Each structure stands twice: as structure tokens, then as C-alpha cells.
Amino acid sequence: MEDEQLIQEAYAKLIVAIRPKMDNKDRFNIQSAFELAKEAHKFQRRKSGEPYITHPIAVALICAKEIELGPTAIIAALLHDVVEDTPVTLEDLREKFGNKIATIVDGLTKLDADKNSESPQAENFRKVLRTLLVDVRVVLIKIADRLHNMRTLGAMPPHKQQKIAAETKFVYIPLAHRLGIYNIKSELEDLFLKITDREAYNEISRKLNETKKDRESYIKHFIQPIDQAVKELGIPYEIKGRPKSIFSIHNKMLGKEVTFEEIFDLFAIRIIIDVPVEIEKIKCWRIYSTVTDFYSPITERLRDWITNPKANGYESLHTTVIGPNGRYVEVQIRSKRMNDIAEKGFAAHWKYKGVKANHDNVYERWLETVRETIESSDHSALEFLSDFKSNLYSEEIHVFTPTGDLKILPLGATALDFAFSIHSEIGITCATIKVNNRLVPFSYLLNSGDRVTVTTSKHRKPNKDWLSFVVTSKAKTRIRAALRESKSQQADFGKEALLRKLSNFKVDLESNVDQLARHFGFDNRMEFYVAIAENKIDLSELKDLPIIDRKFDLKKKTDKSEAVKVSPKSKQDFGSLGNSQIIIDGQSGDKFAYSLAPCCNPVLGDEIFAYVSPGGMKIHRTHCPNAENLQASLANNIHKAEWGRSSTSLYYTDLVITGVDKGVGVIEAISSTISSSLGLNIRSFSIDGHDGFFEGKLRLIVNNNNQLAKAILALKKIDGIKNVIRES
């Protein structure tokens, strides 16, 4: 009875959220979808113990209330797990709800796990994006699904929380940003931080709560003169003050190496005007003029995304001004239409589709880029995911063709990326590039406002070095395809050369080529053929090989593929100086050939996970710089790991120390604190001073992370030291 009441209350909230958008047919179909999903999931429960049906209802509510999707998306959200987790089939859904609903649910249904796949996660994401080209609601529902999962992760074991959080940061947060759903993006970022660094999250959250009254009082004082002046202009408006997200504050603290108290722009003021679209721009600038009548602007921090909207359709005028008491305040000025698009993203864009504005085709342009990436993608799912991520730009630049056509590229794009953005063939045959009438290398980094001219040559061919500096998915995909085509042609030449040589010995190609490839040290015949074409193989050696029954007899020869043995490295090669036992998937680590990863140097007490790589099992910290990528795209190779018995283990760990260079005493103070006060051994220490500051790198030998934490705290107390962080 309690379950039924819980379900009905959740469903009632959903109906209230979508009631204004429903007609009688929609109401009937939503009720039918709810009843079908409820029946299909009736024996299933979430990890929290709640009936499983509460999850699809919650996802549907996010779609309705927070993204403002319509009845079709609500129905698909209610049904998004039935094909994957219950006996209900796609044909059942197609018959009952039609082809559109079935197509969306199919896009949301995971592929059956392929044991041979390098990354099932990447394969599933590629499937979702293929469906995106048919109906963008697939991805919007997928983001809503991920948001609810992140909100309710508490019931999951910590190692699974880490995996899901890493995947969220790697794919879903950039995707939410790219689709302009900024409210959801910010919440996902905060939830990610809450899972991966709960201590930092709680500390910032506590300080925000402590300063809330002071912040609200300051905002009220700040907006008072603006409020009166805007009223006199007769422009309908509202002014809101909002704190920055916990994640963005944390990032700023790390990036600028400052404390919470040293961050001045903890909040932003948003002024939203309600005017017809044809006068939005002029009225926004009028409000800007009013704000700067009272407060001095910092001109280099002006961002005009009204004249040049972001590639995801975001429009707003941002400025930072110096408010009362010398505090920096960010002011965002936008229309109601702009605000809807900023908060609801893609869905709101379609709501305003009939409105003539600067960003009419931004999503169509982006979808065209996605389409090109997918349709030309015949490489691995991991390469696809990496290429696609490069489309989820956080910042863009605006560059121009010689005729003045605008091209939007990611920050960091090169001159060669521009050539490919015009047309693939122009990129492939690119001979020279001029930026602002000056000849530049292909790797030249472009800036907003650059005018770029490309010349081509039919004799030009791409080389693999190009892949090292292009950043756009289109350029990478086309270059790889051209290189594969070139490699295939080389292989054909090599194969012909080998055929001619084998005909002299009257031996067959097909029955000999694979063992010959191995004999010469190649994993496959394609690489062997290419090496022959490039004259890296001396085929005259074939005359010295014995032949029996028209086949080379290589039994007595060394098989290079078997001769190379990789012996597992000992644990102490990777930071541990003793015997530290690790429990992997609940079993003693003695059963596994593992080692501590050198990229993050885990220390006893750190949260860790195990990753099975081609070179063996590696133990990583959950805060390893590579963790996000590994856990998101190679989760099948990730295993739960925790520290077990540890007696005499010692660990290397690296610290970066920054501070004010006072000329004398710093080195002595650091050495004394570590060696004398704490009794720790210093493995290495280097220090470099410049412009009145210094940076030191210190490698310590510690027993556990508690000892490490004490060392960091003690170092921070030394006069002149500004910050101490653990490297990696």
C-alpha cells in the first residue's frame, strides 16, 4: 500500500507539470505508458529499495519541468527502460504507441554487451548519437536519466558511484553544456564534486550558507540604484542574484590557488528584460549603459554573446563591474527569450523556432557536424567518443573566409582545422594558408576575428603529423580516412611485390603470408605489406628460408611474436617500497599481478580502483588525472579495489609548493619541518624562484595518506608558503 501511494504521488506531480501541454490523446497515451511501465517493472526495485517505476516517472518529470519537453518525450521517458530490463519489445511499443516513440526508446536502450568490444560504454554512446540525428529528444531524455541517477547515487557502493560520476563528467556534462541546458549542467557538476571530493563540496557548501545573509544584503544594496534607473526607462524587467555553483567556485580556488575567502565574485546579478525580439539587442545595451553609470566596468571582462552567440545558441551580455566596497560583481543582461534558451537549451530553441534571431541555425550547424562525424566514422568507438567530445566546446572563436563568411571553431583550433571546416577536400589538399594576409604554418593557432585564406594542390597528401595538432572532429576523421586510404594503396603495392617474389619460389601467397608477417615481426599482413612497400623489408632473405610442399618451413626459426615476453613489474617499481596488500573485487591482491600506477602514486588510505591494461593491472587513485577517462570509456576494465593488510609499506608521493620568495630560509624551513618535526624522509627536492615567487617540487616517503596530510598542513604553516598541493 505504501508503494502504491508513493507511485501515485510521483505520477500526480508529473501530470501537474505537463497538464498545460496535453490534449485528450496525449493524456490517454501518457496514462497508457505509465500503466505499461508500472506493470513491466512491478517486480523490480532500485538500490534504495523504492519501486523501480519511480525512476522513469522522475526522469519524465525532469523532461517536463526542467527541460520543458512535450508529451512525446514524456511517454518515451516513462518507457525508456522497459525494452532493456523487461520482456516488453520494441515491436510491442511500436504497435501501441507508434514508430516515433519506438525509435526514441530504441535509441535509449543499451546494446547487448559485446565481449570483443574495447568499450561497450563508447559503443552505446555512439548508438545514442546516431539516433540523435533522427530525434534530438533521445539525448535530452538520456541527460534527464543521468541527472536523476546522479541525484540518487547514495544507495550505490562507492566504487560504482565513482564510475558513474566519471562518465558523467567525461560525456554528459559537456553534452549538457553543448545543448545549452546550463541549470542541469551546473547541477551535474556539483553532484560530480559531491561524489568525487565530498570534503571540498561540504566545505564550500558550508561557507556559502554562512555567507548567505551577507551576500543577500550586498546584492540588495548593489541593485538598489540600478533598479530605480531601469524603472525610469520603462522597460519590463526582473533582477535576480544567484551564487556561483560549488563546482565553479572549487575550480576557481584550484586554478587561481586561492582560498574561498579570496574569491570576490562568488555571485552574479542577472537582469532579464521582457521586450520584443526586434529590439532586444538595443535594449540590452541600454541596460548595460545604465549599470555602468553607477559602477565602473572592467572592460577586458566584457563578453558580447548577443552580437556573436555561442555555438550552442547562448545569448547574453556579460560584464564585470566594481561594486560597493571594491568587490567584483558579474552582471548578466539578457531578454526573457535569451534566458529561456540559456536555461532550457535545445528545447527552448524549438519553442522560439519561428522567431528571427542571430542563432537561427546554430543547432542545425552542430547537428550537421555530428552527422559528418558519425557518417565518416569507421574507426573504433573510443576514437569516435574522443572525436565527438572535441565537438562539445566550452569556448568558441569566430573566424572568417576571404569573402566574410563566418566559421565558428573551438578555442585552440588551428589553421588546418579551418581548411577542413570549409570542405574536407580543401583540408586534404591544403597547400598553403594565410592568416590576415600572412603565410602561417598549418599548426598556427587561430584567434577570433582572423581572416583565413587557403590554397590547395591536387598533389598534396595528408601525413600523420597533422593529427597531432588538429582539434576538430571533422579534421581528425577526414585525415584518418585519407591515411587509411593511402595505407591501403601502399599495402596493395607491397602485396604485388611479395606476389612477384613468391612466384619465383613457386609458393602460394595465402598459405604463407601470415607466418611470414610474424617471422618479420608484424602483427598482421597489412602492416607487413606496407613495410614491404616502404622498403623496410629485405625480401632477398626469403631465399634462405626452407620450403616444404610449397610452404616456408619456419618451425626452426624464432617466432618473434612469441619470443617477446613482458614480465610483470614488481609493486615497488611503482611507488611502494614494501609489501602493501590490496583487495580487488573482494579477493586478496596476491592472486593478481598488480602494480601501483606511476601517474598518480597511490598511498595507503587513498581511495583507489584497479584498471586492467594491456600491460597488466594498475592501481590508480580515484583522483588520478586519468581516472575520468578510464572510468568513463573503459569501465569494463575497472575493478573495485581497497587497501588490505599493510605492515612495512612506504610510498613515494610528490608535492608542489608555491610561495613568496624571501631570499633566505625557505629551503631550511621546509627541510626542518619535514625531517626534524615530522620525521619523514625527503627523496628529492628542487626549487625555482622568479618574479618574487618560488615553486618547489618535493618527493617524500610516507607510510599513509594521514601522514601525508599532516605534512601538507605543516608546510602550509611556514611563513611565506602560499599553497601546497599533491601532484597528480
Which of the residues are catalytic?
84-85
Question: Please, are residues 268 and 242 in contact by the beta-carbon 8 Å criterion?
Answer: yes
Cell, residue 303: 563578453
In a 13 Å sphere around the CA of 582, the CA atoms on its Cβ side amount to 29
- Of 274, 268, 300, nearest to 287 by C-alpha is 274
Q: What 3-state DSSP class applies to 376?
A: coil
Q: What is the 3-state secondary structure (H, E, C) of 34-65?
A: HHHHHHHCCCCECCCCCECCHHHHHHHHHHHH
Which residues contact residue 585 at a Cβ distance below 8 angstroms, ignoring those fewer than 6 apart? 610, 639, 640, 641
- Of 420, 411, 418, nearest to 434 by C-alpha is 418
Question: Please, are residues 622 and 609 in contact by the beta-carbon 8 Å criterion?
Answer: yes
Q: Which residue has the cell 598482421?
A: 524
Helix (H) or strand (E) holding 118: none
Question: Please, are residues 168 and 146 in contact by the beta-carbon 8 Å criterion?
Answer: yes
Residue 646 and residue 583: Cα distance in Å, rounded? 11
Q: Give, in order, the Cα–Cα distances in Å from 258 to each of 211, 262, 606, 608.
A: 17, 6, 24, 27
CA of residue 291 relative to chain centroid, distance: 36
Q: Vertex 421, ends 418 and 427: CA angle to 5°?
A: 75
In a 13 Å sphere around the CA of 171, the CA atoms on its Cβ side amount to 27
Q: Give, in order, the Cα–Cα distances in Å from 124 to each of 129, 135, 512.
A: 9, 16, 39
Residue 407 and residue 34: Cα distance in Å, rounded? 45
- DSSP structural state of residue 172: I
Q: Give, in order, the Cα–Cα distances in Å from 581 to each of 183, 425, 595.
A: 44, 56, 11
Q: Which residue has the cell 529590439?
A: 279
Q: Give, in order, the Cα–Cα distances in Å from 653 to each of 578, 600, 712.
A: 14, 8, 11
Q: What 3-state DSSP class applies to 457?
A: coil
For 460-494, the DSSP string reads ----GGGGGT--SHHHHHHHHHHHHHHHHHHHHHH
Residue 446 and residue 391: Cα distance in Å, rounded? 17
Where do the H-state alpha helices sit in 66-119?
71-78, 82-85, 90-97, 99-108
CA 217, 219, 225, 231 torsion-angle sign: negative
Based on its alpha-carbon atoms, the radius of gyration of the chain, rounded to whole angstroms, reads: 30
Cell, residue 618: 594498475
Cβ–Cβ contacts within 10 Å for residue 432, how many?
A: 15
Q: What 3-state DSSP class applies to 141?
A: helix
Residue 62 and residue 150: Cα distance in Å, rounded? 13
Q: What 3-state DSSP class applies to 305?
A: coil
Cell, residue 675: 625531517
CA 597, 601, 605, 607 torsion-angle sign: negative
